[in-house]
Amino acid sequence: MKVNHINSNLIKININEALRYLGYRNNNVDVETYKLLNESIIELQNICEFKYVYRIFEVKNENNIINFENFIKITSNDLAKLFKDCKKSAVIAATIGFEVEKRIKYFNSTNLTKAVIFDACASAYIEALCDYVESEIMEIAAQEDYNTTFRYSPGYGDVPISHQKEILNALNAQKYIGLSSLDSSILVPRKSVTAFIGFNKGNETNNKSCLNCNLYNNCSFTKKGENSYDK
Amino acid sequence: MINKLKEKFLYFDGAMGTMLQKSGLNIGELPEELNILKPEVIYNIHKEYLNAGANIISANTFGANKLKLNNSSYTVEEIIIAGIEVAKKSIDGLENKYVALDIGPTGTLLSPLGTLSFEDAYDIFKEQVIAGVKARADIILIETMTDLYELKAAVLAAKENSNLPVFCTMSFQDNGRTFTGTDIAAFVSVAEGLGVDVIGVNCSLGPKQLQSIVDELIKYSSTPIMVQANAGLPKYNNNITYYDISPEEYSHEINKMANKGVSIFGGCCGTTPEYIKSIIATLDELKPLELTKKHFTTTTSSSKTVFLGDEVKIIGERINPTGKKRLKEALRENNLDYVIREAIAQQDTGSDILDINVGLPDIDEKEMMKKVISEVQSVVSLPLQIDSSNVEVIETAARIYNGKPIINSVNGKKESLEQILPIVKKYGTLVVALTLNEEGIPKTAKKRLEIASNIINTAKSYGISEENILIDPLVLTASAEQENVMETLKAIPLIKKKYNVKIVLGTSNVSFGLPNRKLLNTTYLAMALSLGLDAPITDSTNEALLDVIRSYKVLANQDIDSKDYIRTYGNVTTENTFVTSNSDLKEIIIRGLKDEAKKVSLELLKKYNSIEIINKYMIPALDIVGGKYEQQEIFLPQLIRSAETSKVVFESIKEKLANEGNDFVDNKKILLATVKGDIHDIGKNIVKLILENYGYKIIDLGKDVDIEKIVETIHNENIHLVGLSALMTTTVKNMEYTIKAIKENSPQIKIMVGGAVLTPDYASKIGADYYSKDAREAVNIAKKIFEN
């Protein structure tokens, strides 16, 4: 297990990612939106608390049940397929903290335009933090001569989102990074992610694919003829 | 036990989880079940800590609450009783050893951050406390809290359902705040106010990083302090998880803490009996220091502490319906947006504390007070002053308030003292005390001092100390009682000389009935400040009053180096030099020029009536914007900006109508809500904004809304269309239940639904009449419904 709180200058976001969440594709962004984007990014750099915890589990994968040392047990065809040759898995939880949540609420009452833009930038930040954690996990895997699968979260494919609580408990996430979930499995603070990354010996890396996602039929990106992952 | 602290340090045990892992058990996710399944393992761990020298054993009950044991085959009571029993067995026959019922966080978040209500959190803790008392625990240890609100629920549950000593700790990050933003001063203010016996920090950091947090604790706390640090943070290398602080390094840091005044120690994550042994060996020769009594006057929210006395603090007075037509209307209509905007405006203009008064004869004041406090606290970080003449409202508000509030007010009448002071004591609040009694407001300063003395002494008999009392010597109106106006001011130094209390005063009544009220108000305020007024209850959006306060702070050496003053007045430029190039309202809305919208619409209102403006400018502009959005010529931020601009125009129209004594006719009512269990509301708020622009009256019930509440509101408000939002697969279920309940009770109602996981198919499957893919679509649906 490892817990880390990192400095904000280690995390950089891609502004296009935030724009994509707002529905822009390769369109020109108007000046005012651009100004609010920049304001939001500067503000987020000051208030984000980048925190994560992960733990490497031995995994058993039998009859479509993936067992993480009895801490988490998931019944899923999709994850079983992804974890076909995996003997281990990292389980990660990451968050950018409550201050962001509070700011979004504040803008929601004072300036809805800014709220929407700020929210999109915050989403880009948690994604960027996950990328950072993922690269750390890949290094660990490489030291032990493993490849890694892509990041897979509850709610993808047929993995029920209701596993959030087990995952958070297994990582002691509330204690270490202040992350918990509601009955509805919504993570709080909301700009947070939990995910699995499998360790396998195969050469083939599994790419992120939209077809693996249960939002595939109703994704706002695919609806517009665009993909989230198949970039 | 607490009394023995003068002689000896107390030692808790170290980590349970770390020891369980060492025992090689495959424990899975509910380690508390081991109390029943493998009590011998738990017993042995307790014994190891006792052998290391620990005095207090924490039973293995940290997560034994209803929520975390949801999937367990054992009840909370069974697990807690088994846990305490095995701990009791381990101390059997030993002297000076105690067992603590260990209570950790519920594992979920309280509303408004989450969805668990304060009352439900209280009940969860109550169940644990009752089981612990039944099993004869010696102490209640509430630990590792990160949410001050949850801590308050737990402490109240412990105090109201047991007579046991209550120890409580929160865990802090290296920025000196808990994960949810509480600082040490707020924690100490609230926990001490609630009467805990020991206060402290645990977990999260290693002892070295905790030193600065301990310093802060010692600065503010008059209550014995405990520390249970981690052995650092877990790290991972070469397949091993490890903590990087050795027992020796650990106890070296503990020694420093003992020399600062901490008297109770133990360990958290990563610590083992070796650490406890090492601490005890290090402190063997020492005696605990006695903490000095502190005398701060503080009021707090969950994340902000305001110290009264050091410099002038402003108590914002605007949330009080007396004489305010718009606010009255907003409260009657349940329009909390308006209240929140007032709160934010006061925060942004420099109020330090906000007075909250929602007393109106024709509303349920208690329910409204609860709602307003919760909503205001979710957006504004300032502490609040609960202002009501109804004792029940005050008690309820003090209970559900997150932090240490001010109660406004008690007075010298016997009845008032008997009703209000117990609440002040129990919830550990500040209280405003008015210098009046059965004989009314006294004429002289001396008499005011007498009443103040009586209140202060009576408060002391309830265990309330001077620093928790704010005296209000009551302003008189110059037009009516000119000869006595100065008596109020003279009372300030009289009272302050005798007592360590702070002075508050609502100053603006002095000018009532006279011309140029601003002049009298500012002069009077300056006089009161110079005589020692600590916190005027006033309007921070009023520049003239702020001018007085800012300049006073310079002259009284409170604004050091005149920093605030220079920042405010140093480069005053005339505002809005920006010249409007475009006075066409339609264009202004399309381009989203919020700042210009008001001026131009006021101009137009001189020439046209409101309907003309709406039909000729607003609606066409909005249609153009909507069309562009559909064509993907513009995107969401621009759509919202135009809508916000259009809302400014709307507000101007409404204001003008209200001034003329007319109401805007809006009988096309739409109810919006994010369904039970879901807390996502940006999408719903966008829909609301856009619909409002088309003249629909929106009843917004917010997020995480109970089904019954929706059904009831439809009935009471004569609603025609309901919009429901849900973002999660898990909460779409609740959407389905909500629709079913609505249709059963009001079959004629049309329902539209939206949210990320919904599809048109799914919407119709769960019984919705319309699927609205975005805010623009919601307008089309509304038009269809209301034009038929």
Cα distance between residue B596 and residue B605, in whole Å: 14
User: Could you count the other beta carbons within 10 Å of the beta carbon of residue B119?
Assistant: 11
Q: Which two tokens stand for residue B624?
A: 């153009």
Looking at the complex, report in whole angstroms how far the Cα of residue A82 sits from the nearest Cα belonging to chain B: 23
pLDDT, tens only, A66-91: 999 988 999 999 999 999 989 999 99
pLDDT value at position B659? 76
Q: Cα separations (Å) of B733 from A153, A183, B108, B483, B671? A: 21, 13, 20, 69, 19
The answer to whether B114 contacts A180, with C-beta atoms less than 8 Å apart, is yes
Cα distance between residue B341 and residue B376, in whole Å: 9
pLDDT value at position B582? 55
pLDDT value at position A203? 58
Of B105, B114, B179, the CB nearest to A182: B114
Is the distance from CB of B345 to CB of B292 less than 8 angstroms?
no
The answer to whether A184 contacts B115, with C-beta atoms less than 8 Å apart, is yes
**B residues 501-530 near A, CB within 8 Å?**
none
B582-598: b or e for each residue (b if 16 or more CB lie within 10 Å)? eeebbbbbbbbbbebbe
Angle, CA B371 vertex, CA B368 and CA B375 arms, to 5°: 140
pLDDT value at position B578? 46
**Residues of A with CB below 8 A from B170's CB?**
none
Residues of chain B with pLDDT under 50: 574-581
SS3 label, residue B380: coil
The answer to whether B682 contacts A108, with C-beta atoms less than 8 Å apart, is yes
Mean pLDDT computed over every residue of chain B: 93
Q: Is some CB atom of chain A closer than 8 A to the CB atom of B37?
A: no
Block residue for tokens 């009996």: B273
Is the distance from CB of B335 to CB of B347 less than 8 angstroms?
no
Q: Is some CB atom of chain A closer than 8 A to the CB atom of B758?
A: yes
Residues listed for chain A:
231
SS3 label, residue B369: helix
The answer to whether B634 contacts A220, with C-beta atoms less than 8 Å apart, is no
The answer to whether B115 contacts A180, with C-beta atoms less than 8 Å apart, is no
Cα distance between residue B581 and residue B106, in whole Å: 58
Classify burial at A228, counting beta carbons within 10 Å of its beta carbon; exposed 0-12, middle 13-18, buried 19 or more: middle
- Amino acid symbol at A32: E
Is the distance from CB of B416 to CB of B433 less than 8 angstroms?
no
The answer to whether B115 contacts A182, with C-beta atoms less than 8 Å apart, is yes
Of B17, B181, B728, the CB nearest to A184: B728
Is the distance from CB of B614 to CB of B695 less than 8 angstroms?
yes
pLDDT value at position A223? 47
DSSP B95: S
pLDDT value at position B3? 77
pLDDT value at position B215? 97
Cα distance between residue B304 and residue B177, in whole Å: 10
Q: Is some CB atom of chain A closer than 8 A to the CB atom of B171?
A: yes
Of B109, B236, B644, the CB nearest to A112: B644
Cβ contacts of residue B8 below 8 Å, gap of 6+? Answer: B287, B288
- Amino acid symbol at B538: T
Cα distance between residue B197 and residue B162, in whole Å: 13
User: Could you count the other beta carbons within 10 Å of the beta carbon of residue B55?
Assistant: 23
Q: Is the pLDDT of residue A196 over 60?
A: yes
User: Could you count the other beta carbons within 10 Å of the beta carbon of residue B309?
Assistant: 19
pLDDT value at position A211? 53
Locate the chain B residue with the closest alpha carbon to A114.
B637
The answer to whether B730 contacts A23, with C-beta atoms less than 8 Å apart, is no
Q: Which two tokens stand for residue B775?
A: 């805010």
